[in-house]
Structure 1
Amino acid sequence: MKLWGIDLGGTKIECAVLDSNNNLEVVVRMRLPTESAKGYEHILSQIKKLIDMVAEQVGEKPRKIGFATPGVLEPDSQLMKNSNTICLNGKPMRQDLEAILGIPVQLANDANCFALAEALIGAGKEYPKAEVVFGVIMGTGVGGGLVVNNKIIGGHHGIGGEWGHNILEENGVPCYCGKAGCVEQVISGPALERYYEQVSGEKLSLKTILEQYNEGKNEHAKATIERLLEYYGRAISTLINVLDPGLIVIGGGVGNIDLLYTAGFERIKKYIFNKGVVTTPILKPRLGDSAGVFGAALL
């Protein structure tokens, strides 16, 4: 049996087909631009176009398909919400996709799909006893996904795992979600670059800030990376205090910073409710940027 998944991103739509009879080997992967500026109906037509292209290559059409989406389908109203691809919000996306495609459709937040894929076929394979796996996305935005006993926990409001929109810094930078000082507005890539510009008067990429921190000559770079490590420690400790997962996987561009797994890990010990002892495995993803689309297929 072939498992079909779509990762719907802000700039690209990716489709992957996995062969469940052959160790989940990838049969086909293909991408199209999302072109979200052209609106909701256009995104749906791009999805249909991509699926048709893949079906032609595979030699069969999907019987059902999973989607990793920005935002989430509200359980009660069945309308999309919390998506940074704004035109999706308020739309009955699952219903519309099923109408266009003529097959059953399963939607889940992209961070949840990331967590599911890592739990089942990624980093989780190294920790088979981990009942609770939390997937963190730290990149342009900050999000999270929660998997318990190999099942996504969407939650009562559909916001299970939404770690990025808890207040981390009192009176911090306003967030699109309506609050201020959210995790996303403190330790995402753009937030760290904004902080560096604020303290230094100079605009640099996070990559350059990190290089200058490692050289040890730029006090503003030092302040920016110290801010990342300290607030990362606080935010992850809260996650562990509430869920105490058996495994945390950190995805996204900021998640590639090696210091998070050394100095950042030490900061968690300052805040955890466990007398400073942290034994939680915290790992980089094993599936790279494939986790979202693989997770969608695994739905």
Structure 2
Amino acid sequence: MTALLLEPVSRAFTEPAADGYLLGGFEWRQPTPDTTRAVVIINAATSVRCQYYSRFAEYLFSHGLDVMLFDYRGIGASRAGSLRGFEATWSDWGALDAQALLKRAQREYPGQPIDVVGHSFGGCAAGLAASGTAIRHLVTVGAQFAHWRDYAPAQRWQMLAKWHGVMPLLTRVCGYFPGKRMGWLEDTPAGVVKDWGAFSTRYEKLPSARHLTALPFSSVTAKTLAISLSDDPFGTVAAIERLLSHFSASPRTHLRIKPEEIGETSIGHFAFFHSRFQTTLWPIALQWLQAGELALDVPGRVISSKP
């Protein structure tokens, strides 16, 4: 795959969601339109600023794709003041915010295929947007719907205490989760914390899902690659498969990679998007976005595949 020699310059944008909330984001747009070229939306993990994915966006842009990043409401460029009493939920982030970006892609890049990369919750968000039916190819990284029993055994009790004990407790005290002060992600709306802390095995059982008349997961038909890392304590096989089961109409492949298979000692939940993996891991995602298939020499092993 030959990279195009283009200067990776992004442009900030704002996009209103259906309820009027103004979202902030960034886009890398090729100089001339082309209906054969995909536009890729990157859905962030829970309470991670979208600019964390900028290097990866530049990589996709350098290989001829248009790319958009955005922050969910209450995070980064989409934060509009104090989060105390701001009740955004996971369902808002998917059904309103991810949906707004899909609508923007359809409007600003007419006729172009729409692909999505979803990190952690970002994979779930792709299945909550009504316009998810427009997604051609979907790549998820560490994307799961994890019940606490799915956490990696070695870290399970520590994670249970941290994410289902300390985080909800501090949220009740502060009116939001002060993640930046704790060094745990960004500050996070209380509604998101309530969803995260729920002991649910299916998305439709979460507090914020109860008011939804339908979940779009089963209408998404995107050709889906779920990438998981063997040292990701969130993204265990059970957790990844739990989310994939929501995408019942999508052809899907679950590829699991061990760090030693690419000459590394660790990758974990976040490091896939670090630029040091540009030559080892990023081409896997690029190949799927461009062709909807895995290369023959891809590292790792396929855990499950549904045509």
TM over 0.5: no
Give the TM-score of the pair, scaled to structure 2: 0.31
Which structure has the larger Rg over C-alpha atoms? 1
Give the TM-score of the pair, scaled to structure 1: 0.32
